[in-house]
Amino acid sequence: MSRLPAAGIPLVIAAVACFAVLDTTTKFVTTGVPLLMALWFRYMFQAVATTVAVLPVRGMALFRTQHPKYQLLRGALLLLTSLFAFYSLKYMPVGEFTAIVMIAPLVITLLAATTLKERVSPLRWALVAGGFIGTLVIIRPGAETFNWTMLLPLGLVACNAWFQVLTSRLARTEDPVTMHFYTGWVGALVASLALPFVWTSLAHWYLWADLLLMGLLATVGHFMLILAYQRAPAATLTPFLYLQIGFAMLGGWLVFSHVPDQLSMIGIVKIAVCGAGGAWLTVRESRVLVEPVES
């Protein structure tokens, strides 16, 4: 598909808006639904919806993959990411949670330097350090407001960083729709193992509606993200991912009447600036690499 960066930007903005509403809904759902039951429903909805939408069009080609083991690993990593997200949202405000999660691109830089032996510039190292400082400002270890549940998003960040690294490797040879298909079914099948132990009847009908909304938002958000990356390079789209922090803070305020305190706001802004700065640096470096070819 030809690249149309201008068409990719509104798609990625719509995707992060879906994810912010998904996180806000998840936090609300965790007050009345067992976490593992909600997690199973989220993945089963995605798996079934993707299969119904794509299988009639792709046929057996949908199952074709050169790396089935990596597809399974990718699905397991995303399931762990979601598990950390659900537990984090149960105990943390949506805005602060989202800001900490958004240090994932900075962690990927760290992984690229330490495990993939990629060269990282001093400016990028400074942005990584700034992002981690912003995280510490939000978490505030040792402060009266600190408790162990505030470390849960860091587990999510670690799983998500490896998920993204693996995704970038698989994307070289794999169909993104096939990757999305396997991710949904791996999560659904693994979560099904715990379902008999956590299933319960829900007290209110609106909780079922919220579960349906979660599944819909996750499915639509991921499809929009796939469409965005088909139309524009990652370096162009990454800065817009940080709009999710703003959407999440808005959701936290509208639904839970939560506004981050002054220190948390400083940490959130620091993470957003360092993350967006890292994305801008990626765009700049990619242009430097591309210009000689174009000339």
* Residue ranges per structural domain of the chain: 5-287
Stronger pLDDT, 41 or 8, i.e. the higher one: 41
pLDDT band at 143 (very low <50, low <70, confident <90, very high): low
More confident residue, 108 or 214: 214
Position 289 confidence tier, pLDDT thresholds 50, 70, 90: very low
More confident of the two residues 76 and 218: 76
Q: To the nearest whole number, what is the mean pLDDT of the chain?
A: 82
pLDDT above 90 (res 121): no
Average pLDDT value for residue range 101-126: 73
Would you say the C-alpha torsion 251, 254, 255, 258 has a positive or negative sign? positive
pLDDT higher than 60, residue 1: no
pLDDT at res. 291 = 29
Q: Which two tokens stand for residue 135?
A: 């995280």
Q: Inform me whether the pLDDT recorded for 115 exceeds 70.
A: no
What is the token pair recorded at 74? 């990718």
Is the predicted pLDDT of residue 292 greater than 60, yes or no? no
Contact criterion met (CB below 8 Å) for 26 and 174? no
- The DSSP 8-state label assigned to residue 214 in this structure reads H
Q: State the Cα–Cα distance between residues 26 and 269, nearest whole angstrom.
A: 24
Over residues 177-187, the mean pLDDT reads 90
What span, in angstroms and rounded, lies between the C-alpha atoms of 239 and 228?
A: 13
d(CA 287, CA 120): 16
Closest Cα to residue 211, out of 93, 39, 83?
39
pLDDT band at 283 (very low <50, low <70, confident <90, very high): low
Model's pTM, two decimal places? 0.77
- Give me the pLDDT at residue 294, please: 34
* Residue 111, Cβ density class (10 Å: 0-12 exposed, 13-18 middle, ≥19 buried): middle
Q: Which pLDDT value is given to residue 287? A: 45
Mean pLDDT of 153-163: 85
Residue type, 235: A
Q: 134 falls in which pLDDT band (50, 70, 90)?
A: confident
